[in-house]
Amino acid sequence: MTDHPGSDGIPPAEQTEGEVQAGRRMAPGDANALPPAPLPRDAGSWAAKVDRLTVAGGGSRGSNVAGRRLTGPVQGFGKMWRKTYWIEVSPNISPQTVIAEWKEHFGEFWPAGNRFKGPLTGLSPGDVALLDVSVGGVRLSTGVFVLYADDESFTLMTPQGHMFAGWITFSAERAGRASEREASARAPTVVQTQVLMRANDPLYELAMSLGGHRKEDQFWVQTMTALARYLGALPATVHTRTVCIDRKRQWGNFGYVWHNSMVRSMLHSATAITQRGRREQ
Q: In this structure, which amino acid lies at residue 117?
A: K
Number of domains in the chain: 1
- Cis amide prior to 202 (ω within 30 degrees): no
Q: What is the pLDDT of residue 133?
A: 83
* 6 backbone φψ class: left, alpha, beta (φ>0; ψ -120 to 50): left
Q: What is the arithmetic mean of pLDDT over 34-48?
A: 73
Query: What is residue 152's predicted lDDT score, i.e. its pLDDT?
Result: 95
pLDDT of residue 179: 55
- Using the 8-state DSSP alphabet, how is residue 106 labeled? G
User: 81 in a domain, yes or no?
Assistant: yes
Residue 171's domain is classified under what CATH number? 3.30.530.20
- 121 domain residue, yes or no: yes
* Angle at the Cα of 164 from the Cα atoms of 257 and 42, rounded to 5 degrees: 130
Quickly list H helices, the chain. Answer: 17-22, 95-104, 178-183, 202-207, 213-230, 261-280
| Residue 173 covered by a domain | yes
**Residues 242, 174: Cα–Cα separation, whole Å:** 22
pLDDT at residue 105 tops 60: yes
Determine, yes or no, domain membership for 193: yes
pLDDT for the residue numbered 30:
52
Question: If you compute the radius of gyration of the chain from its CA atoms, what whole number of angstroms results?
Answer: 20
The confidence score (pLDDT) of residue 5 equals 47
pLDDT at 34 over 90: no
Residue 92 has pLDDT above 60, yes or no: yes
- Average pLDDT of the chain? 81
Whether 13 is in a domain gets the answer no
Least confident of 3-7, 214-218, 231-235: 3-7
The C-alpha atoms of residue 202 and residue 145 are separated, in whole angstroms, by 23
- Determine the pLDDT at residue 235: 82
| Residue 280 or residue 206, greater confidence | 206
The pLDDT of residue 18 is above 60: no
Q: Given pLDDT bands bounded at 50, 70 and 90, which one contains residue 32?
A: low
- Side-chain-side CA neighbours of residue 198 (13 Å): 24
Asked whether residue 56 carries a pLDDT value surpassing 90, the answer given is no
The domain in which residue 234 lies consists of 61-247
| pLDDT number for residue 2 | 47
pLDDT of 213 reads: 93
